[in-house]
Structures are given as structure tokens and as C-alpha cells.
Amino acid sequence: MDYQEFSGEVISEQDKAFAKEFTNFVNGRMCSAEKTGKELTRAHRYLQQQMFKVFMGFMRQLAYNYQKGFYDERNEWASRLASEAYRHLIESNLIFDPNYQP
């Protein structure tokens, strides 16, 4: 299975459009990841919470991909860091994910 294909997963067209736009943004239009992240904290606090949920979903998927060996040298750092962070959150009882086996 290609790690990009998540069997049984349904994603809305709006979510797909956002993911594509964000991909295009980081692939040439972003000037600074740090400053962009800082700017996102200016959003309404409820929206910050929602943005963080998107971040957590991304981190979770990178962690699962790392666990299954679905990475290469181009994204190994992000995948490994996500895996370590996700494992720590589980071990600290900050999140619950019975399917994740570090």
C-alpha cells in the first residue's frame, strides 16, 4: 500500500483543497516557518484550538507512517520527531490512542 493511500478514509473536498493549498504554500511561497507559525497564534483562541487539532492529526499520521517505515531521507526528521513526540504524549497520558504501538 502506498502510504499516501489510506484505505477506507473519506476526506471532504474542502479538506483536500486546504491540504493542496497548504502544500503549495510551503512549497515556495512561505518565507519563514517560524514567523508563519507565530502569525497563526494571532487567530481567535478557538481557531487556535482548531488549528492545533489539524497539527495533531498531521503529527499522528507522520508518527504512524514512521512506525510502518513509510518515510525516506526527505521526511525522516519530521517523521521521527513526530513519532517521538506522539509516543511521549501517549506515555504522559495527554492523549489516548490504543492503536499506536511504539
Q: What is the pLDDT of residue 41?
A: 97
Per residue in 22-64, pLDDT tens?
Answer: 999 999 999 999 999 999 999 999 999 999 999 999 999 999 9
Position 20 confidence tier, pLDDT thresholds 50, 70, 90 = very high
Counting the structural domains of the chain, the total is 1
Q: Residue 99 domain-assigned?
A: no
Q: Residue 82 domain-assigned?
A: yes
Q: Which domain holds residue 37?
A: 15-91
Distances (CA, A) of 69 to 43, 52, 73, 98: 35, 25, 11, 19
Q: Residue 47 domain-assigned?
A: yes
Q: Residue 57 domain-assigned?
A: yes
